[in-house]
Structure 1
């Protein structure tokens, strides 16, 4: 989106464009679609058959994107851990 334009003003156009290209590419509502901003006023549509599986998501875990464990302390109510 160009500088100075609000998402509110372009929302209708964006929805129409997505619907139009979705129909042209014979996409179903259940299909998983990624839209990526590749430059000023340029979008790239990346197609997938479905949402990523748990195995695909787990395969992308590495040391750089793994967070440390969080210690919540001792139980203070009736929680179990």
Structure 2
């Protein structure tokens, strides 16, 4: 009987959160409402009910730490390489 009431309250909290709360946040909300329940019990009930919170999407960095781009070689003041034949003379 107690577990059924707990399941109903968990479903209500989950719906009110827009389907985003996982078991840790649902547990915190239950404690704020005055319920004495463990985190593991909330996780088990939520696993039975099958609601799953949304995962937090981490911001992806475009640069990779530790990987530096190749140094740029300036072409200012240099001439293009000459074509040389097999005897070493410029053509």
Fold shared, TM-score > 0.5 on shorter chain: no
Structure (1/2) with the larger helix percentage = 2
Q: What TM-score, normalized by structure 1, do the two folds share?
A: 0.31
Structure (1/2) with the larger strand percentage = 1
Bigger-Rg structure (1/2): 2
Q: What TM-score, normalized by structure 2, do the two folds share?
A: 0.28
Greater relative contact order (Cα < 8 A, sep 6+): 2
